[in-house]
Amino acid sequence: MLSADLALINANVKTMNPNQPTAQAVAIKKNKIAKVGTNQDIQPLISEGTRVINLEGKTVLPGIIDTHVHVADFGQCLLWLDLCCAESVEDIQSLLKERAEKTPAGKWIFGRGWHQNRFKDKRLPNLSDLDSVVPDNPAVLYHESAMVCVVNSKALGLAGISKQTVAPQGGTIEKDLKSGELTGILRDSATNLIWNVIPEPTEEELLEATSLACQKIAETGVTSVHWLVLSENELPIIQKLHLQGRLPIRVNVVAPEALLEKAVGLQTTDSLMLHLGGAVIASDGYLASKTAALFEPYSDEPQKTGSLLCAGEGLKASVVKIIKAGLQPVIHAMGDKAVDTALTAIEQAKKEAGVDVRFRIEQAAVLNKDLIQRLSAQRVIVSVQPRVIASEFSVWNAKERLGIERARRLFPLKTLLQEDVKVVGGSDCPMEPLNPLLGMQEAVSREDFSEQRLSVEEALGMYTIDAAFSSGEEQVKGSVEEGKLADLTVLSADPAVVEPNKISTISVDTVMVNGKILKG
Ligand SMILES: [Zn+2]
C-alpha cells in the first residue's frame, strides 16, 4: 500500500469535481493528489512517515488560477515606494527622502498610491515639494488612480517638458494659475510623456521584481497565473526563472502576437511549471478611453464609436498563424463591434486551419443575444476580470456612457454561463488588486444588474477548473482529484457560508504548489 507524504484531514474540501463535489480529506504523494475522500478513506495511506494536518473544518480549494496578471509590471510596482499610507505631503516627502538616500544619483525613483483625499488640507503634492527632498534623482509619484502623477524637475528635464510644451491630446500639463509655472502635476495622456522616457529595467532588476511578484501572488492563494506579457524583456526572464527553478507558482505564458516567434522559442522542459499558452491580438481598445469599438455611438458622446484595431482578413490571418504555431488565439475585444469581428475571424479561421482549438476572447464586454449565441456555438472562452467589471459601472459610469439597455448587456456573466459559455476570471493586477477572493466577491455580489450575479460555485469555477480548461490543462489541475497535481489553497472560511460581500476578507491559511507548502 502506498504511503502518503502528507494528509489533510477534517477539512471541508470543495473539489470542483462534479463526480465527488465535496470531501473531508486529501492524501498527497510527491507532487500529486493520491486520494480524496473521508478521513477513513485516506487512513490506509497514513503511515509513520506521513505528515498529518488536521484542518479543523477549514476549506480546501483546488489551487486558485488567475487568468490575467501582468507579472512583470506588478513586480516593478512592488519595488516602488508605497504611498498608500501617506496622510500628508510631508509624509510623502519623508518617504521620498529616505528612498533617495538609498538610491544612487541619477537613478529613477518611483512611487505610487497617494491620494490627496487622505490629506488634511487635500492639497496635491507639487514640483517644489519633490525638488526639496530629491534634487539629484528623477522622481515620479503616481496617484492611486494611475491617471495622475507628480514629478520633480529632474524628471521634467529628462522628458523635455517645459512651460512651452503642448500637452498631448486628452492630457494636461498643469501650470500654476497665477505664475504660469509648471506644478509638476501631469494628467491622463500627459503622464505618457514621463512613462516614455523611463528606462527599461535591467535584467537583474526585472528578475528581482518578477520573483518577488510570484511570491506575493502565491501568498494570495494563487497557484497558477496566466502571465500576460507586455514587453519583450519579460520572455528571457520567464525562461531564466523557470530554468533556475525559481518559479514558485505555475505560469501559463500569454504573449502579444508580435512576440509569437520568441514565445514559441521558450523552453518549457517539464511543462508542469511553465506552459506555453496563447498569443494576444487586440481588435479594439477600452471602454474607459472610449476606444472600444461599438456598433452604436457612446451615449454621452454621439460622434464616438471607438474603432477596430484589427479586423477582417488581417485578423483572420493572425488567428490562423497563432493556431499553426501551436498556441491559443486570444483576442482582446471589448465593444460589441469588436466581438462581432473577432467571432467572424474565429469562424473563418476554424474552417481554414481545419482544427478546433480553444479560442479565448479577453473582455467580451458589450454583448447581445446574437453574439452570446455565437460565442456559445464556437465554444469561445470568455476571460474577464470581475474587479474591472465593478470599475466600469462605478468609476466609468457605464449606465450613462452606454445607455441603460447596453449597460444591461455589459459583462452578462450569468447569461453567458446559462448559454454554456465558459467564463474564466483574473485580476488584471497591477491595475486592479491581486486578491482572487475579491474577484470572486465581485462576481457573486455585483451591484449593478444583480440578475447577472453568479453563485459562489460558479465563481469558484472561473478561478479553478474552467481556468485550467482555458489553458488546456484541465487534465492535470483545476480540481481536487486523484492523480492531479497537488496544488491546493486552504481558506479560513467557506466562501459559500460567509456573507457574499465579505468573501474578500477570508484569509488564505495554506498554499500548496506541486505538493510543496509555500505558505502556512
Ligand atoms: Zn491587462
Q: Is residue 404 part of a domain?
A: yes
Q: Is residue 66 part of a domain?
A: no
Ligand 1 centroid to residue 227 C-alpha, Å:
10
Ligand 1 centroid to residue 70 C-alpha, Å:
6
Residues 441, 331, single domain; the answer is: yes
So what's the pLDDT on residue 505? 97
Q: Is residue 520 part of a domain?
A: no
From CA 194, how far away is CA 108, in angstroms rounded? 11
Mean pLDDT across 478-496: 98
So what's the pLDDT on residue 519? 87
**Among 44-48, 431-435, 494-498, which is the least confidently predicted range?**
431-435
Task: Provide the grid cell at 503.
Answer: 468573501
Residues 382, 448, single domain; the answer is: yes
Closest among 170, 151, 169 to 161, alpha carbons compared: 151
Residues 230, 123, single domain; the answer is: no
- Pair 144, 136: CB distance under 8 Å: no
So what's the pLDDT on residue 501? 96
So what's the pLDDT on residue 201? 87
Ligand 1 centroid to residue 67 C-alpha, Å:
10
In this predicted model, what pLDDT tens digit does every residue of 78-125 receive, in sequence order? 999 999 999 999 999 999 999 999 999 999 999 999 999 999 999 999
Residues 126, 212, single domain; the answer is: no
For residue 336, pLDDT beyond 90:
yes
Residues 365, 237, single domain; the answer is: yes
Q: Which of 171, 195, 219 is the last residue of a domain?
A: 195
Ligand 1 centroid to residue 482 C-alpha, Å:
34
From CA 66, how far away is CA 205, in angstroms rounded? 24
Ligand 1 centroid to residue 111 C-alpha, Å:
21
Ligand 1 centroid to residue 427 C-alpha, Å:
8
Q: What's the mean pLDDT when you consider all of the chain? A: 96
So what's the pLDDT on residue 353? 82
Residues 300, 350, single domain; the answer is: yes
Ligand 1 centroid to residue 69 C-alpha, Å:
7
Question: How many Cα atoms sit within 13 Å of 407 on the Cβ side?
Answer: 21
From CA 495, how far away is CA 507, in angstroms rounded? 11
Q: Report the CATH number that the domain containing residue 251 is assigned in CATH.
A: 3.20.20.140
Q: Is residue 65 part of a domain?
A: no
Residues 80, 228, single domain; the answer is: no
Ligand 1 centroid to residue 223 C-alpha, Å:
19
For residue 22, what are the domain limits? 6-57
In this predicted model, what pLDDT tens digit does every residue of 253-271 receive, in sequence order? 999 999 999 999 999 886 6
For residue 1, pLDDT beyond 80:
no
So what's the pLDDT on residue 431? 87
Ligand 1 centroid to residue 399 C-alpha, Å:
23
Mean pLDDT across 338-363: 94
> DSSP labels for 247-276?
-SSEEEEEEEGGGHHHHHT---SSTTTEEE
Q: Which of 14, 31, 57 is the last residue of a domain?
A: 57
Residues 270, 304, single domain; the answer is: yes
Q: Is residue 519 part of a domain?
A: no
So what's the pLDDT on residue 399? 96
Give residue 480's pLDDT band: very low, low, confident or very high (50, 70, 90): very high
Question: How many Cα atoms sit within 13 Å of 431 on the Cβ side?
Answer: 15
User: Helix axis angle, 386-394 relative to 436-445, nearest 10°?
Assistant: 60
Q: Report the CATH number that the domain containing residue 133 is assigned in CATH.
A: 3.10.310.70
Mean pLDDT across 144-172: 94
Residues 274, 304, single domain; the answer is: yes
For residue 497, pLDDT beyond 80:
yes
Q: Is residue 518 part of a domain?
A: no
Mean pLDDT across 157-181: 95
Q: Is residue 303 part of a domain?
A: yes
Residues 186, 228, single domain; the answer is: no
Residues 441, 509, single domain; the answer is: yes
Q: Is residue 440 part of a domain?
A: yes
SS3 127: helix
Give residue 355's pLDDT band: very low, low, confident or very high (50, 70, 90): confident
Ligand 1 centroid to residue 280 C-alpha, Å:
11
Question: The whole model's pTM is what?
Answer: 0.91
Mean pLDDT across 18-37: 98
So what's the pLDDT on residue 352? 87
Task: Provide the grid cell at 485.
Answer: 497535481
Ligand 1 centroid to residue 361 C-alpha, Å:
13
Ligand 1 centroid to residue 362 C-alpha, Å:
9
Ligand 1 centroid to residue 228 C-alpha, Å:
7
Q: Report the CATH number that the domain containing residue 49 is assigned in CATH.
A: 2.30.40.10
Ligand 1 centroid to residue 433 C-alpha, Å:
12
Residues 48, 86, single domain; the answer is: no
Ligand 1 centroid to residue 101 C-alpha, Å:
34
Where do the H-state alpha helices sit in 325-368? 336-353
Ligand 1 centroid to residue 98 C-alpha, Å:
32
Ligand 1 centroid to residue 209 C-alpha, Å:
18
Q: How many domains does the chain have?
A: 3
In this predicted model, what pLDDT tens digit does every residue of 400-446 receive, in sequence order? 999 999 999 999 999 999 999 999 999 999 989 999 999 999 999 99
For residue 356, pLDDT beyond 90:
no
Ligand 1 centroid to residue 232 C-alpha, Å:
16
